[in-house]
Structure 1
Amino acid sequence: MAAHDLLAMHPLQRLPSPSRSASALLHLLGLASFAYSFAFLIQNPNPINDSYGWHMQYLTIIGLSLATATFAVGLLADLTLSRLLFRLKNVLSIASAPMECLITILYWGLRAIDPSLVLPDWAAPLALTDDFSFHLVPALALVIDLLFFSPPYVIAALPALGLSGAIAFGYWLWIERCYQFNEFYPYPLFAILTTPQRIGLFAFSALLMTLSTGMLTWLYSAFNGVEVEDLGHGRVNDKARSGNVKGE
């Protein structure tokens, strides 16, 4: 790794990014998986395709869209070696990675309790590979990008809660608007719950997404170390982990 690359990297960042090597490969593979998922929606139409809001009624597809935007910006940063685009990718990741973790936890958790809570009666069962492409791969890809190719999150607990709450509140308004046109909810669970119960579910989801942000922050520190303050100069400039500058 060149000296100027080391100087440009955050001291805790494990591998170089933006980069036309491993970082670009991860973003390219992630985008290929996301494109496969979107192609599946088009090639396997169902009543949602012709309804108001299309598949964007699903939190899964909203999260997939945000993950796609994150990796698209990341790949552009890799190809152009743009620090500005790299920073934009990291900003998007603050929302997309915790959201995908939330989606993965909620989907597989509810599916384990009762598949009919998240899968309507008319929906054909998803093959495991397709299920993973929607409900597991995006979260894994974003977590790998965070741990290996990104600086640590800089968002505090209260702003993280505010961001999660805004996303949850916005999604609640969105699905209620879709219901006005379609007269059905995208997830069967929403139809089972009363309005106060749905509000409670979205509030819980906001809290769970905030906890996901905290979990990712902790995981990053456990994996990459934490910054320590240089008492002699009064600044943060080192990392409390063993190994050389490459983290080996």
Structure 2
Amino acid sequence: MAARHPLQRLASPSRSFSALLHIAGIVSFSASFRYLQLYPQLPDTTYGGHFQFLTIIGLGLALMTMVSGLLADLFLIPQFFTVKNSLSVCSTPLAVLVSILYWGLVSIDKSLVVPPDVQHLLPIIPDVGFHAMPAILLSLDLLLLSPPWTIRMYSAMSLSMVLAFLYWGWVEWCFTKNGFYPYPIFEILSTSQRVVLFTVSAFLMTLSTLALKWVYGKLNGIEMFQKEAVNPIKAD
């Protein structure tokens, strides 16, 4: 297979920098899952477990993306590279969204996203591992080691809305089993306010996709991507 897409910044799949970045992602994300085993944030008996948290769903997708990338690096099989790039369209904007929502809400009031009884269990290094490293490492993978995304604004919005309301449905289903929400903010908001929250989240995820395309275009000299990101409706 070709070492790189003609519009791609660095060679990938490859057994050099590409493999190192994917290994770094796997180590970081695996360490976060290991932390959950050592210091669980929810009782083991809760329905849905830690996958009630959007952070952990995003972390799982990020880990799958990096594993696919590393398999492509090691075996140079095109199908693994294709899987990695397909997963990246979901996992990278979702990781960026998680970082925006988490750090934004924490700056307002940490108790909106972290129950008071578990705040002491999340020191800064694990906090960064959960809520920053997926966005950082996946963005680097996209910008340096991936072919350009072809997803357009309306497709990105549709994907974001589907993911947002699937997650809401999952959270409500878990609530019927457990009697509580994973994030305290859900307890505070009414149903109509949750609709607004998830709609805004979908909009932010769409903006994340467009912003990543703009940066990719800027970094790799693709003027069309920059125009699409700035004026997505016209581009569609």
Q: Compute the TM-score of the two structures, normalised by the length of structure 1.
A: 0.87
Q: Is the 8 A contact 1:48 1:55 kept in 2?
A: no
Matched residue of 1:50: which SS?
coil
Q: Where does the alignment leave 5 or more consecutive residues of structure 2 unmatched?
A: 225-236
Q: What letter matches 2:61 in structure 1?
A: L
**Distance in 2, Cα, partners of 1:89 & 1:135:** 21
Could you say which residue in structure 1 is the equivalent of 2:46? 51
- Match in the other structure for 1:148: 144
- 1:68 aligned residue (63, 67, 70): 63
- Is 2:195 the partner of 1:199? yes
Q: Is the 8 A contact 2:65 2:84 kept in 1?
A: yes
Return the alpha-carbon distance in structure 2 between the equivalents of residues 78 and 46 of structure 1: 34
- TM-aligned CA distance change 1:29 to 1:169, over 3 Å: same
Matched, 1:161 2:157: yes
8 A Cα contact 2:59 2:134, kept in partner: yes
**1:216 corresponds to:** 212
1:94 aligned onto 2:82: no
AA matched with 2:72: A
1:189 aligns with 2:188: no
CA-to-aligned-CA distance 1:190-222 (integer Å, 9 cap, x gap)? 000001101110011001000000000000011
| Preserved contact between residue 111 and residue 184 of structure 2 (Cα < 8 Å) | yes
For 1:166 and 1:188, the matched residues in 2 are separated by 23
| Deviation (angstroms), 1:47 | 3.2
Q: Say whether the 8 Å CA contact 2:68–2:83 is kept in structure 1.
A: yes
Of stretches 81-90 and 179-188 in structure 1, the one that deviates more from structure 2 is 81-90
Q: Deviation at 1:64? A: 0.1
Following the alignment from structure 1 to structure 2, what is the Cα–Cα distance between the partners of residues 72 and 150?
A: 15
Distance 2:170 2:22 in 1: 29
Give the letter aligned to residue 188 of structure 2. Answer: I
When Rg is computed on C-alpha atoms for both structures, the one with the higher figure is 1
Superposed CA RMSD: 1.3
SS in 1 for 2:125: helix
What is the CA–CA distance in structure 1 between the aligned matches of 2:58 and 2:182, rounded to whole Å? 15
**Secondary structure of the structure 2 residue equivalent to 1:20:** coil
Contact 2:4/2:13 (<8 A) preserved: no
Distance 1:46 1:87 in 2: 34
TM-score for the superposition, normalised by structure 2: 0.92
Which amino acid in the other structure matches residue 49 of structure 2? W
Closer, same or farther: CA 60–48 of 1 in aligned 2, 3 Å: farther
Partner SS, residue 122 of structure 1: helix
Matching residue of 1:114: 109
Output the CA distance in 2 between the equivalents of 1:20 and 1:55.
34
- 2:231 corresponds in structure 1 to none
Unaligned runs of 5+ residues in structure 1 are: 229-248
Q: Which amino acid aligns with 1:86?
A: F
Report the identity percentage: 52
Q: Which runs of 4+ in 1 moved over 6 A?
A: none
Q: CA deviation at 1:46?
A: 4.0
Matched letter for residue 157 of structure 2:
L
Q: How many residues align?
A: 223
State the alpha-carbon separation in 2 of the partners of residues 74 and 38 from structure 1.
19
CA contact (8 A) 1:12 1:227 kept: no
